Structure 1
């Protein structure tokens, strides 16, 4: 005998049963997981994601990030982490909110941005100097050129190490935060669900940068990512950044 499903209000397509199935499947995985909810524009992905998220909040910590509403940001990861803080902070107890370890979870965002800023700046400069800048660089004598290359390479290596360390620190802090939310409360349990909606509506560069930033969090234990996209449209975004000959399907 089938268990009766209490449908979502206004959902004439009766999709709650699919959300319930996915919840059971993803919770049973007992590990980090990423799933793509793929459907064309206008199919009701946002309705599905928002109602599914509301259901999950009864038993799991949840974060809902609307990528399209945040694609003005220069650093997508900062936007995601800010959303994590906004959605999860109310779930912490008063004691935990005053805990310095918890505070450091979100302050590490600033460390990450300071670490990655020089690399982003160099990338911007390399695009900005253009043909004229390249010609000026070519006029440097051999010794000057070698010195410039050596200094830039050394700095890039240092910055990359700083970025890797900052990301590692944030991953550890996020794991601790999940433990605080699920071990100190009787009403919440793992995993933490992070929903990324409207990714396919974003500027191509922002959409791809967002994916490439949050992939660092895909392997954090106790987190399930649910990404809602029109995958065909997202492929066009990938090709807009990497070129029409790029295998966007394999990339995604």
Structure 2
């Protein structure tokens, strides 16, 4: 199975974009910069961010500039702690860690944390806010804050070099709550500026560029998203700082509208709000059919490598070769079947089938609105396919990955068609759908309409042509494995084991033989009729109406059980008259039940002259 975690392994040719983003951050040379990476859910924003992070770490130069990356995920703090407080604390903790080896810088870092604590307290409201803004302790919380404020040196707008006095010294000043002197009121703007100055100074002395990655912002509720963006303003545009914000632009616009609900702001205002925070907008590249094909092929190769079907050198080569091919795709170097097969052992039928699957799925998953070439959704698609494959073996079901993928594709992208086909699957029909078989034969010819229940559109025709064909397949196992999407009922199965065995024997028979006659006798008249009807239906797509073996499934059961003649005649009478050849006439005319049908053919204008002549010759042959 493929996890939904981010990765720095580049399957989507994002490396080029990651290189460009990392270079922008490096070229800022300590000047503040903010980059916004935009893309929908599952488009690969986090993976792109991880690739940028990897490149920055590799470019660090100790004693000159070290890139320190802090990843902040506001979604994790939602409903537990304010995103603004959490971000400030995360930055403060990281600076404290960086300064731990230098006593002087460590002392400054601790004072920075105190300022962060003050700013966090200012957000609490109530007694805390009144105390901080007026300097008068209000309530028990206010008194505690006033005492802490004196201890930490808050309220003077500047760093308190003696801010680390021990508790005993402070205890002498404050004999108890009743003697607590009113604190000096703080100036919040001064404290914010003092915090920014202190952080900027520390980063300079540490020779560090702090890069804050804000991820999963578009998973947050609007209130949390806006709170995070507001907190970013406290840290934004400081020297030796950079922000990389990964979010869906459409979500941010929606969050801004919710935040300013009632203000009737326009879409332009909502866009400008985000644009003021972002200097460099960067969009996750959209995937086309070529990229989707490459991604699917690499995922399938990764799984095959894990299962031992391709070795490490072969897989490593593919991981390098496919993105390299994508980089040159602008010249017309597409991810073709030939290219994919050059990366595998073409003698391995399984791998050839998997590469063919990537080739066939890519355009459908790209154009489908349900998937739209979204990397996360494509990965989930394959996860479901392989999960069903794992569930198949313990239940005695043998199905290959391409068959499972083809069925799940129609489930995922055209649920109406999937449900319609499911209702046609019954035990009586042995799980095969005549309409599906006919549609697969017609799909390649746009001039021929598709039968019900198929709609004549590009997706349906391409799906029908996707390998393998399912018209000859018993779909009951596929539907049984897809019970996670719908309840499946195939009706009663009235065929006995002997009846099923006879059905299969009739399908494969090309002439009369003793084992076939014995199988008919063992099945009995009722089961033989069901087997005859089903075998006749199953061979419909392969019947030429010109060879004697075409009518064996009708003739042989009637030899043993003459009462089946009426049913056999009814099936024979549905023949396409223009296709009937003379080759089937001699065998049919020996059967009493078939002669009335042949006499009608002789009079029909649609039957060709050679066939009519064969009927006339058969009449002259003595019985």
- Of 76, 91, 98, which aligns to 2:98? 91
Moved more, 105-114 or 220-229: 105-114
**Cα deviation 1:88-129 (Å, max 9, x = unaligned):** 44433522487311211112111212334348988xxxxxxx
When normalised by structure 1's length, the TM-score is 0.71
Aligned to 1:209: 227
Change (3 A) 1:120 1:204: farther
SS at match of 2:194: helix
Show the counterpart of 2:124: 117
> After the TM superposition, which of the residue ranges 42-51 and 20-29 deviates more from structure 2?
20-29
Confirm whether residue 166 of structure 1 aligns to residue 191 of structure 2: yes
Bigger CA radius of gyration = 2
- Alpha-carbon distance in 2 for matches of 1:73, 1:210: 14
**1:180 corresponds to which of 198, 205, 227:** 205
Task: Give the conservation status (yes or no) of the 8 Å contact 1:197–1:228.
Answer: yes
CA displacement 1:131-157 (0-9 Å, x = unmatched): xxxxxxxxxxxxxxxxxxxxxxxxxxx
Q: d(CA) in 2 for partners of 1:97 and 1:67? A: 32
* Cross-structure match for 1:13: 12
Q: Deviations over 1:167-190 (max 9, x none)?
A: 1121112112212321xxxxxx5x
Does the Cα contact within 8 Å between 1:235 and 1:249 map onto a contact in 2?
A: yes
Cα distance, 1:9 vs structure 2: 5.3
**Please, which runs of 5 or more residues in structure 2 have no aligned partner?**
1-6, 61-66, 130-183, 275-623
Distance of 1:120 and 1:41 partners within structure 2: 41
The number of equivalent residue pairs is 203
Runs of 4+ in 1 over 4 A off after TM superposition: 119-122
Cα distance change on mapping 1:205 and 1:180 into 2, 3 Å: same
Alpha-carbon distance between aligned partners in 2 of 1:54 and 1:108, rounded to the nearest angstrom: 32
Residues 1:100 and 2:123 aligned together: no
In the TM superposition, what is the alpha-carbon distance from 1:10 to its structure 2 partner? 3.1
Does 1 or 2 have the higher relative contact order (CA < 8 Å, sep 6+)? 1
Whose strand fraction is larger, Structure 1's or Structure 2's? Answer: 1
Candidates 66, 69, 73, aligned match of 1:62: 69
Deviation at 1:73, TM superposition (A): 4.4
**Residue 62 of structure 1 aligns to a residue in which SS?**
strand
Q: What is the CA–CA distance in structure 1 between the aligned matches of 2:11 and 2:121, rounded to whole Å?
A: 48
- How is 1:103-252 mapped onto 2 (pairs within 5 angstroms)? 103-118=110-125, 162-182=187-207, 191-243=209-261, 245-246=264-265, 247-252=269-274
RMSD across aligned positions (CA): 2.8
TM-score by length of 2: 0.30
After superposition, give the CA deviation of every residue in 1:30-61 in whole Å (9 maximum; x if it has no partner): 31111110111110111111232233234111
Q: 1:28 aligned to 2:53?
A: no
Unaligned 5+ segments in structure 1 are 1-7, 123-157, 183-188
